[in-house]
Amino acid sequence: IAPELANRPNPMTLLRDFDYGTVKREKGRTVREFDLIADNSVLQLNSAVKFLSWNVNDRVPGPTLRATEGDRVRIIFRNRAGRPHSLHFHGTHPAEMDGVTPIRSGRETVYEFDAEPYGVHLYHCHIAPVTRHIGKGLFGLFIVDPPQGRSPADEMVLVMGGYDINDDKQNELYAFNGFPDYYQTHPIPIYQNQLVRLYLLNMIEFDPAVTFHIHANLFQVYPTGRTLTPKEETDVITMGTAERHILEFSYPYPGRYMFHPHQDAIAERGCMGEFEVISI
């Protein structure tokens, strides 16, 4: 195994890997500290294509950060990548924590703010050209749970990304959670009649919008995760870049079911996966 692959996180692990940070109590409140390091690493996208990614903590997408509304969030950001980067968070925070200032390589900075409001947010590098810094892989989800929590469910994360292999500002490959077609060759096991809560982010640059579709079922939509009750039910949702939602569904019948953007050209270039519904 080449060095660049040795520490490659398994996409099946990424799927349900939530980073709650190091928890501290300060002045009576919960503080969550996250250590995030920007660096570069080579991704083996398929048997033929290697891709030099710019990323956080050696993974694409970066860690799924998670806090509860009202927590204090402290991001210790170290840049070891050899070029300037930053971390811009979605959600509410003061201007000085907005992450649009370049952090030079070798430097570090601390982004600190209250986790608010609850919902599905994201972070990404905001250095120009942003299409390139996002396209290279410097992004992740930032989930803020409502104080009362959500109902029990099999929770998972899918981030749709695109790879511009030849720097022509078009994507040649696509992926859920970084690796093209991974969940097609390794279907995601879920249980029959078990509620699945999917945190879905579209982080594809260059394509103006994509859809997300699951087979043989419909899902409930919680737009931007900003509601406790669903606002729509469908099986095809259209999402611009940086749109993200909670989708909930359960499969009534066992078997294998595809999920993919319904722009089939995108699906057929790597943004394709399957659920394996296990009967109970």
For 224, residues 6+ apart whose C-beta sits below 8 A from its C-beta are: 119, 120, 243, 244, 245
Q: By rule CB under 5 A, what count of residues binds Cu ion?
A: 6
Nearer to its own copies, 8 or 257 (CB): 257
Per-residue binding letters, 153-172, with Na ion (x by CB under 5 A): -----------x-x-x-x-x
Identify whether the C-beta of residue 71 lies closer than 8 Å to the C-beta of residue 32: yes
Helix (H, G, I), strand (E, B) or coil at 21: coil
Out of 32, 59, 85, 260, point to the residue binding Cu ion (CB under 5 A): 85
Is there binding between residue 83 and its own copies (CB under 8 A)?
no
Token duo for residue 241: 């870049």
116 contacts which partner out of Zn ion, Cu ion, Na ion, none, CB within 5 to 8 A by kind?
Na ion
Alpha-carbon span 150 to 153, nearest angstrom:
8
Out of 67, 115, 125, 143, point to the residue binding Zn ion (CB under 5 A): 125
Nearer to Cu ion, 66 or 126 (CB): 126
Alpha-carbon span 36 to 34, nearest angstrom:
6
Nearer to Cu ion, 64 or 86 (CB): 86
Helix, strand, coil percentages for the chain (3-state, nearest 5): 10, 45, 45
In terms of C-beta density within 10 A (0-12 exposed, 13-18 middle, 19 or more buried), how is residue 62 classed?
Answer: buried
Nearer to Zn ion, 94 or 152 (CB): 94
Give CA 135 to chain center in angstroms: 13
Identify whether the C-beta of residue 122 lies closer than 8 Å to the C-beta of residue 90: yes
Per-residue binding letters, 183-222, with Zn ion (x by CB under 5 A): ----------------------------------------
Is there binding between residue 32 and Na ion (CB under 5 A)?
no
Is there binding between residue 96 and its own copies (CB under 8 A)?
yes
Is there binding between residue 88 and its own copies (CB under 8 A)?
yes
Is there binding between residue 248 and its own copies (CB under 8 A)?
no
Where do contacts with Cu ion occur on this chain (CB under 5 A)? 85, 125, 127, 133, 138, 215
